[in-house]
């Protein structure tokens, strides 16, 4: 048996290097440079070779994007964000939806890099938040030259973008459809006219009628500084937003007669939302549903002249929140050469039968795993409820299903919102950050920033809009 002994490399000390002559130093540097070059060649060789199924090593040529055509498209995704750190990519985490999407796009050679892809996203979702209708716009590789890309037969024969991506994406993230775009300036962010969020919750013992009354006060345009998390440090100083629709609807009825296990959802539709706005709204509505606050509390919180400082309260959980639908303008805000004013720039979403079939099958698998667990727990609850009533009184039942959706520590005695300690006012925060030179305060009145925003904070901020 041959045994190879690795010779220990002695590193030169400062004293040893100083004792060498000029010629010896030059020779040593040349040796190091030659060794460094050799190592680079070895590393490069390892990066450009792949091992096939037969075990043979073959060279992998870098993809030449200069020889490819590009086309501008919209891509529609769904994702279950419960185990991810939000949608937007972050410097200190690889566990984001956007990181996996771009990793997949580059792996299947649809784009060369994010910087060269003309990329925009419809909305940012926070840690734990899911989406059924997330949309991005970008330039991707195409089989056809630009002048032929919108021909019906070429759209049908184009690369199967969704199938390509779904082969390399995690099972919680799936591409559903793509849309060919006429205008290369069309933006999933700036040309989205409305975003619909749904927040799912169990009925429990909540007073749904009172919650609906409270929600009705938010319809229309209001200053929501007391119903969001203010992010003045990143330049957000206007908190006026418009809610076009807000309602509470049933989602799924329980299989038994116990309506406390029925699932409901709060639906909100608007052009833009503030940071954690939906979760703060839901937190207050839960307090109303539990009878701890009157529906009129919403009017009090929206009256920023009477209540300029937000009372301290915990947000609702992130898990039930879903970016459920996005609607887009027929025409981009940017001009499109060669198109008439009346012609829509949108096209029907392109679905592929095989891809949609596999996606539904994958989602059914996930549903089965979670539904079996839920059913087991539900049966245990039904049995324990029967034992409780038999031993401690018929008719008594526990309906605290919705209580766990409110985060934070619960005090034994409830303190009304308007009697709680208040956060700093908007004016104090603006003054604080202007002194730190984080923001610049203009002498002109601040205009609404809802016209061309997705409700998210600037790109330097890792947190998200909802």
From 194, 167, 163, 197, select the one nearest 178 (Cα to Cα): 163
Helices (H), 108-196: 152-156, 161-166
- Distance CA(177)–CA(124), nearest Å, equals 19
Question: For residue 198, what are the CA distances in angstroms to 248, 268, 319, 370?
Answer: 9, 7, 11, 20
Residues paired with 222 in a beta bridge: 241
Q: Active-site residue numbers?
A: 126
Residue partners of 83: CB distance under 8 A and separation at least 6: 95, 172
Instruction: Give the containing element (helix H, strand E) for 389.
Output: helix 353-392
Q: What are phi and psi of 266, to 5 degrees?
A: -90, 130
Burial, 175: exposed, middle or buried (Cβ in 10 Å; 0-12, 13-18, 19+)? buried
Residue 16 to residues 13, 20, 27: CA-CA distances in angstroms?
Answer: 5, 7, 15
Question: Which residue is associated with the tokens 């720039």?
Answer: 345
* Residue that is written with structure tokens 């667990």 in the block: 373
Cα separation, 76 vs 323, in Å, equals 12
How many residues appear in the chain?
466
């Amino acid at each position: 048996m041959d045994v190879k002994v690795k010779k220990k490399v002695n590193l030169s000390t400062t004293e040893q290097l100083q004792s060498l002559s000029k010629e010896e130093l030059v020779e040593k540097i040349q040796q190091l440079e030659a060794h460094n070059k050799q190592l680079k060649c070895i590393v490069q060789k390892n990066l450009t070779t792949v091992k096939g199924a037969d075990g043979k090593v073959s060279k992998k040529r870098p993809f030449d994007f200069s020889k490819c055509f590009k086309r501008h498209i919209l891509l529609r995704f769904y994702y279950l964000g419960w185990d991810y750190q939000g949608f937007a990519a972050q410097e200190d985490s690889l566990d984001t939806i956007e990181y996996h999407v771009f990793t997949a796009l580059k792996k299947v050679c649809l784009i060369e890099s994010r910087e060269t892809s003309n990329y925009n996203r419809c909305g940012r979702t926070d840690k734990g938040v899911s989406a059924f209708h997330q949309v991005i716009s970008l330039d991707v590789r195409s089989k056809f030259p630009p002048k032929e890309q919108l021909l019906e037969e070429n759209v049908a024969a184009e690369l199967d973008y969704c199938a390509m991506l779904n082969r390399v994406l995690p099972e919680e993230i799936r591409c559903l459809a793509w849309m060919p775009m006429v205008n290369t300036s069309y933006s999933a962010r700036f040309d989205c006219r409305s975003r619909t969020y749904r927040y799912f919750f169990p009925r429990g013992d909540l007073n749904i009628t009172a919650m609906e009354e409270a929600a009705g006060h938010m319809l229309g345009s209001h200053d929501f500084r007391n119903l969001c998390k203010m992010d003045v440090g990143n330049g957000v100083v206007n908190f006026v937003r418009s809610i076009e629709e807000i309602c509470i609807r049933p989602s799924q009825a329980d299989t038994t007669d116990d309506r406390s296990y029925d699932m409901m959802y709060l639906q909100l539709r608007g052009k833009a939302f503030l940071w954690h706005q939906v979760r703060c709204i839901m937190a207050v509505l839960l307090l109303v549903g539990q009878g701890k606050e009157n529906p009129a509390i919403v009017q009090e919180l929206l009256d920023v002249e009477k209540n300029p400082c937000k009372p301290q309260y915990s947000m609702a959980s992130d898990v039930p929140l879903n970016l459920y639908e996005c609607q887009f303008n027929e025409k981009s805000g940017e001009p499109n050469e060669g198109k008439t004013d009346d012609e829509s720039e949108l096209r029907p979403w392109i679905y592929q039968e095989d891809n949609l079939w596999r996606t539904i099958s994958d989602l059914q698998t996930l549903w089965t795993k979670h539904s079996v667990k839920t059913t087991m727990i539900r049966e245990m609850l039904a049995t324990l409820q029967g034992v409780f009533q038999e031993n401690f009184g018929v008719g008594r039942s526990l309906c605290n299903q919705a209580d766990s959706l409110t985060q934070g520590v619960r005090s034994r005695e409830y303190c009304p919102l308007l009697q709680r300690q208040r956060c700093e006012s908007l004016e104090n925060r603006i003054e604080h950050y202007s002194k730190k030179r984080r923001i610049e305060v203009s002498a002109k009145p601040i205009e609404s920033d809802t016209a061309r925003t997705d409700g998210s904070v600037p790109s330097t901020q890792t947190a998200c809009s909802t």
